[in-house]
Structure formats: C-alpha cells, structure tokens
Structure 1
Amino acid sequence: MRSRLPRRITVVSASVGAGHDGAARELVRRLREAGFDAECHDFLDLLPRGCGRLLRGSYALELKVAPWAWGWLLGGLEKHRGSSGLVGRLFAAAAARRTRELVGPETTAIVSTYPLASQALGRLRKSGVLQVPVATFLTDMSVHPLWVAEGVDLHLALHDVAAIQAVKHGAADVEICGPLVGPTFRPARSQAEVDRERTRFGLPLDRPVALITAGSWGVGEVELTAREIAAAGVAVPVTVCGHNEALRQKLEQAGTGVALGWVDDMPALLRASDVVVQNAGGLTSLEAMASGVPVVSYRCLPGHGVTNAAALDEAGLAVWIRSERRLGKALVEALETGPVPAPRAAHSADRVVIALAGGVPETLLEVAS
C-alpha cells in the first residue's frame, strides 16, 4: 500500500552545462513514473535578478578562455575549507526567499543535483527554514568539498570511490546508487542498427569511430584531441562540438574526422560509436557505459575534469590517458577489451529519494526530520 503522505518532490538543478540538468530530468521522470508529483527548478532562477545569468556566463567564459583558472579556483576552495562554508552562506542568503516560495506544504523532500544549490539548501535546512529532508545527488565520480553541505540529510553517490570522497569531506549519510541515465541509452541490438545510425550521422561504415565529447559547450583541448586521434590512425575522430559553432567550423575546414554540432539524439550517436573519448567525466561518460561503449579520458579539463578522470580510473570504469604517447595503444586496448558495465548499486536513486520522502511503507534508510 502506498503512503497517503503528500507526494511532491522538488528537484533543484542548474543550467550550467548539461550534466546537472540531465540527471535532474531523469530523476523527475522516474519519480513521476512512480506516481509522485515531481518538478525541477533551476537554481540560477532562485538567485537575485541577473545573478544567475552572470554566474553561468562567467563559468562558461572561464572554461573557454582560461580553464587553468577554474582548476586553480577549485583547488583553492578544497585547500581552504572555510571558503566553501563562506560560499554556502552567501548563496543560502541569496536564494533563501525564492527557495521558501517553491517549497509548499505538499513538498515531502528536496533533491539537489548542483553543488551550490546543495550549499544553499543545506544551510536553509540547518537553520530550520526548510522543514523537509534535503538530499544531494552527486552527479560526478569525484566529490569536491562544495558538494558536501551541512544540513543536507543524505548524499547519493555513484560508486564506492565517490562515497569515500564524500565521507572524507564530512558527509554523514551516504547511499550508493545507480546513475541517473535514461532508458533510451542502451547497447545496439545488431550491426544493422549500428550501420543505420552511422549512415544517419554521416559516419564511416568501415572503420572504428572514436566519439570525442566535451560537454554542451565544447570546451577544452578538443581540436588538438581530434588531430591526435586522427594521427594515431586507430579510429576516425568524430567530435561533438555542442553549441561551439566556431570549433565545429575549424574541424570541418581542417578535414579532421567528422565534426558535429549540437546532437539531439545522443543515444543513437553513442550506439554508432566504438569508443568515447571524454574530457570532463560527466553524464556523457555514464550514458556511454549504459550504451555498451568503452570510455577513456584524455586531455581533461583542469579541476573537475582531472579529478573525475582520476576517480573513473580508480573505479576501473574508464582509463585515464595521461600522454599522447599512450593514446594509440590505449584506444586499441579499449576497442579490443570492449565496454565496462556502468556502475550499479543495490538501490536506484529514485527509490532512495522515495524512501526519503516517506513514499514507501518500509524505508530503505532513516533520516531525521
């Protein structure tokens, strides 16, 4: 019998890149499928007017122009833990009013898929402003201290590696859950399906395809990665440039493999690929694994790109290629070895969130209200 408690769960993400939103959308889909009234809000919209747009724009500019500065900032925040607390207090104060407005009497739990939202929600929970449990879904394999906020009742980790890092940074309650990847991400059912999808995207039928992903903004040393893969001669580089039209044009003019812009049907493109070469370690890596495609990390972005590559490598999910000399051999090994199964856990994230909200008779865990 289902509980008669209020059945609304609020998910808070952020429109910075696509990974946080992708996980949030899948969580909302699963919760609705389970009969909950689930909705997603953009944390940037909860900030004072103009602040969200400024935060998104400055982050994108930093990754495009000076990615080293992003790595330096994250490293500094990790070294000086008090800075993370200050960030939490600032964002909690900035988002307090609008956060209170979106949490109505029917809300039974709040889930964050974005670290700054977790900081704000945790502070509001600790101060008593929020009276319902707050959970953080850790979208990355590596966990920066910004992800772990005082006041958050539960942290959902993708793997033991991420869980250990979360505990190290002070997370009291951690549950290991499967990734939030949609059901459309699946292995190809036949070679005919692979050939059909390759023809659709203009990819070669007679050579291995190395799919280069660099987030929705197409940032990092992507052009160099494509050139080096082409020079290695192991596979044809196919680069997903996202919204970076300048990058797509450069690659197209240089004739470096196949250059694609924004792709609406990533499940099909992944099924058409033989290996994924990524630089950030985000949601696309998990989607590739769910699609039965091996993943390697190469020329990773400073900051979260490098730490995610290290965590994926430690977990045995994706080899981290640290030098061009190793690139060709690593690609051959990935093609020969084949896919590594995506991380799995005893419970799915949506099931734990439902338990957190009191939506099942026997909860999977107990969280103090």
Structure 2
Amino acid sequence: MNILFFTVSAGEGHNQVARTVADKIKQTDPNHKVEVIDTFNYVHPSLHKIVFEAYIKSIKYIPTLYGFIYKRSEVTDNSIVDVSEFLNKVVLSRKFTRLLADFRPDIIVCTHPFPAEALSAMKRKAKIDIPLVTILTDYTIHPSWINKEIDYYIMPSENFIHEFQYWQIPSERAKFFGIPIDEKFSRSYTRQEVCEKLNVSNTFTALIMGGGLGLGNITETLDYLFTYNIDIQIIAIAGKNQELYRYLSLINRKNLKVFGYVSNIDEFMSISDLIITKPGGITVTEALTKELPIIVTWNLPGQEERNMEFILNNGIGMVATSPNSLISCINLLKDNPDRYQIIRNNMARIRKPHATEDIANFILSMPSTNPSSNERSAFEVR
C-alpha cells in the first residue's frame, strides 16, 4: 500500500504527528511505501521559509493579531485571510500534481488543514479520487479542518462529537482515536533509576517547558518560584530556544536543573510530579498519557486557548495567571494527595495511550484504490 502524508512546518506538532504515524505503519509492515511531505517545502523551499518564519514571528511578536484572525475564522464562513485561493494556485502546481501521479497513493493523510483544503479542492474538481484522512492535532475543531471531501477525521476525544455534528458531517467519518504520539510515553519507568540517569534528585519535581521551540513565559515562571523560595526541584527544558538555554544556564540555584533540546521528554515526565507549560496539543497529549497534572501559565491565542479549555473542562490540570495562583496550584498538588489523585484519575479516564497503533491499523485497514497500470491514472493533469 502507498500512503502519502502531508504536513506543514508550523510549530513542531504537525510534523511530529505525521512522522509518528508514518513510522508506526512502516514498523508494522516495511513493505508499505510511506512518505511524509512538508507541503510548502516540497512545492517551493522559499515558500516554506516564508510561511515558517511568518508563523514564528506572528506568535512571538503579534500573538494578539494571530488570535484575532483565528477566533474570527472560527465563527465566520469567510476567514479574514482567505488562504484557499492562494493554496489552490500555489500548492496545486504541476509539481505538486506530478508528485501524486508518480507516487500513486492509495491513501492520503493530512496533519495540517492547509494541504487538506488543497487536496479537498482537487477532489471537488475530480482531479483525484483517493481516500483522504485528516488527523487533528489540537483539542478543538477549527472550521479550516472541515471539508466534505475528507473521508475520515481522526479526532482527539469523544468530547467533540457534538461539534462534529454541528458541521453536519456523518458520524461514521469521525474516529475518536486520540492524538498520536511516540509510544514510548506509554512505557513505565523506575523513578529512581531514571533520576540517577538524568542526574537529578528523586524528590517532588516540577517540569517546566514550552514545547519543542521553548516558547512561553519560562523565565518569568522561574522568577516567581525563586521569589517565593518554593521547596521543590525544578527541571527547565529550553527546547530549541538557544537564547533561553544560555540564559537559564547562568542561573545559580541548587534546586534548578536546566536542559536544552532533549529527545527523552517521556523520561523527564516520568520523574516529575507536575508540568508547568503552555498547552500545545502534543504536550497536553504527552502529559495526559503519562498522567502528569498540568499547570498552564501561558498560552498562544487561538488553538491553545481551546486546549486550555479542554484541560479545565476535563479536570486534568489548572491555570495560573499570577505568581500567587501559581504557587497556590503547586502547593495544592504537593500537599493535597486526594486532589492530586483526582486529577490523575481524570487523566487515566480520558487518555488514549494506544492512539498511534489504532490510527496506523485503521489506515492500513482501508481498501486500496490504486488504479492498475492499464487504467487511466486518477492523477492525470487535466
């Protein structure tokens, strides 16, 4: 079976989800032909650079504008920024169409709404006739994900069944498998052994991070904790943010351990008692799988606000918008075992530790539609 994944480098999550499921499919059967395409980078590297840099700068320097556009597009049929025409002109280039003709996919999987919209347009124009699957990467359903031409939606939670019905999409198209993450997050570890490996103490620990890019108010959060001289171990992970890593490395505190970009977040979560973070879809899913209570101190406007609502509505974490509330949240979890266990029980109830395997198996169970060599290709440029 030929399976083609389309993603977009807007943050880390979309690419990570695509690679995770693609790797699981190849692990299940190496005979499957699987490829992950970073859409804009494939069509034109310069376009990829522009899109990625624009995204990063918008969330860093003008997040309110990003949030305004996101929220307006949630409630209006026509977004303020109508990307559809742009996508159809740029993404649906001859090069893009030729990729489909050469690869001849049986199934196409999208982990970002941009390529999903572009491919849906191709289906509307009868340029392709291939099953199209989308995997949502946040705990919300934005209208940009919704297209009648999409055959299946991989949903993060059953909580969104009513939203799905609102868009008048047949219920059989929704598969509530969860957000796929690396299966190592489902492993159990001996805490003392991992602490020794990471050279940290086996004591009450708060893990502070801002996703793979090290975004958020990490420095301010640490200032709050040091000001109140809270008696816990703090592990701060800067991700790919080199400037943040250099700054944190200069802080001389016995109870602070600083790391840069790491590939074993699962181990750090396993020896932590809570996580202080921004609510990115992947981070929330990883913490949920590890049953690690979440404290949100900062969020990007838009989808992360919806993720934060999911955290609060399901009782799997707290939100701290001031130094006092942050300290109160930490002490409540540290000193109140019953409250701490309630949150962990809620996480155990809604987590989906087998999401990656379930999604891979579902994709592989879909019937092949690859035309035989003597038939006219469904990808022929018309």
Of the candidates 2, 5, 10, which is equivalent to residue 11 of structure 1?
A: 5
Give the one of 39, 59, 79 matched to 2:55: 59
Aligned residues of 2:278 and 2:298 also touching (Cα < 8 A) = yes
Tell me the CA shift for residue 85 of structure 1: 9.0
2:258 aligned with 1:250, yes or no? no
Structure 2 unmatched runs, 5+ = 370-382
* Match in the other structure for 2:196: 196
**What pairs up with 1:1-369 in 2 under 5 angstroms?**
7-35=1-29, 36-83=32-79, 86-97=82-93, 98-104=95-101, 106-169=104-167, 171-172=169-170, 173-199=173-199, 203=200, 205-232=201-228, 233=230, 235-255=232-252, 257-335=256-334, 336=337, 337-338=340-341, 339=344, 340-341=347-348, 343-344=351-352, 348-358=358-368
8 A Cα contact 1:63 1:219, kept in partner = no
Secondary structure at the counterpart of residue 129 of structure 1? coil
SS of alignment partner, residue 192 of structure 1: helix
Higher CA-based Rg:
2
Counterpart residue type for residue 154 of structure 2? L
CA deviations on 1:18-65 (whole Å, 9 max, x unpaired) are 111111111112212332322211112244451111000011111222
- Secondary structure of the corresponding residue to residue 110 of structure 1: strand
Gap runs ≥5 in structure 1: 1-6, 360-369
The residue number in structure 1 matching 2:377 is: none
1:16 aligned counterpart, secondary structure: coil
Task: Tell me if the contact between 1:161 and 1:314 (Cα under 8 Å) persists in the aligned partners.
Answer: no
Distance 1:306 1:237, change over 3 A: farther
Residue pair 2:134, 2:154 contacting (<8 A) in 1 also = yes
CA contact (8 A) 2:2 2:105 kept: yes
- Using the TM superposition, give the Cα deviation of residue 300 of structure 1 relative to its aligned residue in structure 2, in angstroms: 1.5
8 Å Cα contact 2:191/2:270 also seen in 1: no
1:195: how far off? 2.0
How many pairs are equivalent?
349
8 Å contact 1:197–1:272 — kept in the other structure? no
8 Å CA contact 1:163, 1:175 repeated in 2: no
What percentage of aligned pairs have identical amino acids?
A: 18
Tell me the amino acid that sits aligned with residue 65 of structure 2.
A
Do 1:177 and 1:345's aligned partners in 2 also have CA atoms closer than 8 Å?
Answer: no
CA change 1:267–1:143 in 2 (3 A) is: same
Aligned counterparts of 1:53 and 1:264: Cα–Cα separation in 2? 25
- Is the 8 Å Cα contact of residues 28 and 39 (structure 1) preserved in structure 2? yes
Cα distance in structure 2, aligned partners of 1:133 and 1:79: 28
Q: CA deviation at 1:89?
A: 3.2
Give, in whole Å, the separation in 1 of the partners of 2:208 and 2:144.
28
Deviation at 1:187?
4.8
Alignment partner of 2:258: what SS? Answer: strand
Relative to structure 1, is the Cα distance of residues 197 and 313 closer, same or farther in structure 2, using a 3 angstrom cutoff? farther
> Secondary structure of the residue that 1:24 maps to in structure 2?
helix
Task: Note the alpha carbon deviations across 1:274-310, whole angstroms, 9 max, x for none.
Answer: 2112213321221233234222322222222211111
Superposed displacement of residue 132, structure 1:
0.3
Give, in angstroms, the shift of residue 323 of structure 1: 4.3
**1:91-112 residue CA offsets vs partner (Å, 9 max, x unmatched):** 1331113332222464111011
Q: For 2:359 and 2:81, how far apart are their aligned partners in 1? A: 27
Q: 1:121 to 1:106 in 2, by over 3 A?
A: closer
CA distance in 2, matches of 1:178, 1:307: 16
User: Residue type matched to 2:359 in 1?
Assistant: A
State the 1:146 CA deviation. 1.8
Q: Cα RMSD (Å) of the superposition?
A: 2.6
Mapped contact 2:154–2:178 kept (Cα < 8 A):
no
Q: Is the 8 A contact 1:185 1:290 kept in 2?
A: yes
Assess if the C-alpha contact under 8 Å between 1:148 and 1:166 holds in 2: no
Partner in structure 1 of residue 374 of structure 2: none
If the length of structure 1 is used for normalisation, what is the TM-score? 0.85
Tell me if the contact between 2:113 and 2:145 (Cα under 8 Å) persists in the aligned partners. yes
Preserved CA contact (<8 Å) 1:158 1:343: no
1:113 shift after superposition: 0.7
